Amino acid sequence: MNRGRLKTVAKKREIERKLAAHRKSLHGQLVNQTLILGKHIKTEKVSVKAWQKNYGKSIGFKSPASFQSELVRKAESAGGIVLMFSTRKTALSQTCLCGNKQRKSLSQRVHHCSVCGLNMQRDILSA
């Protein structure tokens, strides 16, 4: 290998190391902000591999799996718990707060409950 290529490889490695350290710092801050809101966290069980198939390298730059593991580690050390549940069984965007379940197409962005009369944006309701 020539000397120029070795220098370039070393620079690239250093840039990637700095980006990883910055990403880890941001994850730590976000996890701490989340744990201030509560120690018992419920979240969807997501497949990071499926995200990688759909979004490629851009998902790797965000590193969601390391965020999840950091959240679990810090919550457990703080005496809390992280519960991950399957979205196939829950269908949060189709279930009202009163328990009524209504099927909706993805284009229907507002939730209208026929039982309790609740009207709310679908994404906010499911969050």
CA angle 60, 55, 67 (to 5 degrees): 35
Task: Render the burial of 40-56: b for 16+ CB within 10 Å, e for the rest.
Answer: ebeeeeeebeebeeeee
> Measured between alpha carbons, how far is 95 from 118 in angstroms, rounded to an integer?
11
Query: Is residue 41 within a helix (H) or strand (E), and if so which, with residue range?
Result: strand 40-44
Task: Please tell me the predicted confidence (pLDDT) of residue 127.
Answer: 66
Give the chain's radius of gyration (CA, Å): 20
User: Strand, coil or helix: what is 76?
Assistant: helix
pTM over 0.85: no
How confident is the chain (127 residues) per 10-residue block, as mean pLDDT?
A: 90 94 92 91 83 82 86 93 82 78 81 82 76
- How many Cα atoms are found within 13 Å in the side-chain-facing hemisphere of 117? 0
Q: What is the pLDDT at residue 125?
A: 76
Instruction: Supply the DSSP symbol for 99.
Output: S
The stretches of the chain forming alpha helices (DSSP H) are 3-37, 48-55, 57-62, 64-77, 87-90, 122-126
pLDDT of residue 1: 66
Domain assignments of the chain as residue spans, ordered by start: 1-87, 91-127
Cα separation, 110 vs 114, in Å, equals 13
